Amino acid sequence: MQFTSTETFIIGLWYVIIGYFFLLFVYFLAFRFREKRNPFHLGFGLFFFLLGVGRIFYLIWDFYAHIEIWWRLATVTSWLAIFTVFIALAYQILERKLWQIILISSPPLIIALLILVIPVLFWPPTLTSGILTIGYIISNYAILPLYVIVLPALFFFIGFQLIGQLRMSNFLLGSGLLIYYGGRVLQAVLPDLGIIVAPVLVLIALGIIAMGVLLEASE
């Protein structure tokens, strides 16, 4: 299998990004959660772990084996990542109000389960000769953009309640996630442009997130 120079560059960027995902997972699990025992740190660490696993599946789907199972695994894992981080944030903000946590967090989990059970409703255009399926439209053009807005907004909301480095940490985390999911949406809406721009945006986003993490740890 041979790749063009552009494809090789893009693949290399994604491998670097996957490494950052797993480093963030190890950091949150081995250091922050072990030290603080805060479920937020556990959920945030699992969020990055699932993003890393999902990106591996996407790489296989995009460049190595264009088979439906890899797309399904990648998409399910990515939605589970959103579910995990919303569980963590809802727990942090809502102070253990279970029904509210479930209400806010459940849509990504429901989408993940539907894709796992009836993927044909969510197939991307590359599996349907350019035809957009109803599930693909709803998940990528309605629900995902909504969560792209809500997820960073929650970090900004938390930041406004705090002062000093913790405020800046949450602002950086929110900004990083906004850029990260902005790249995801761009790749879904404009795949020809997004395949090049998305990994660059994600790498920038991870740098901003890492700065936010370090500020939170030094407080």
Instruction: Classify residue 96 by its DSSP letter.
Output: T
Helices (H) then strands (E): counts for the chain: 9, 0
**Separation between Cα atoms, residue 139 and residue 152, nearest integer Å:** 18
**Model confidence pLDDT, tens digit, residues 181-215:** 888 777 767 777 777 888 889 899 999 998 988 88
Sign, CA torsion 68/114/147/154: negative
pLDDT by residue (tens digit) across 66-106? 899 999 999 999 999 999 988 888 777 766 666 777 777 78
Domain limits for position 55: 5-218
Number of structural domains found in the chain: 1
Residue 136 CB contacts under 8 Å (≥ 6 apart), including other chains: 122, 123, 124, 125
pTM of the shown model: 0.90
Q: How many CB atoms are closer than 10 A to CB 141?
A: 13
- Which residues lie closer than 8 Å to 183 by C-beta, 6 or more apart? 194, 197, 198, 199, 200, 201, 202, 205
Q: What is the pLDDT of residue 73?
A: 96
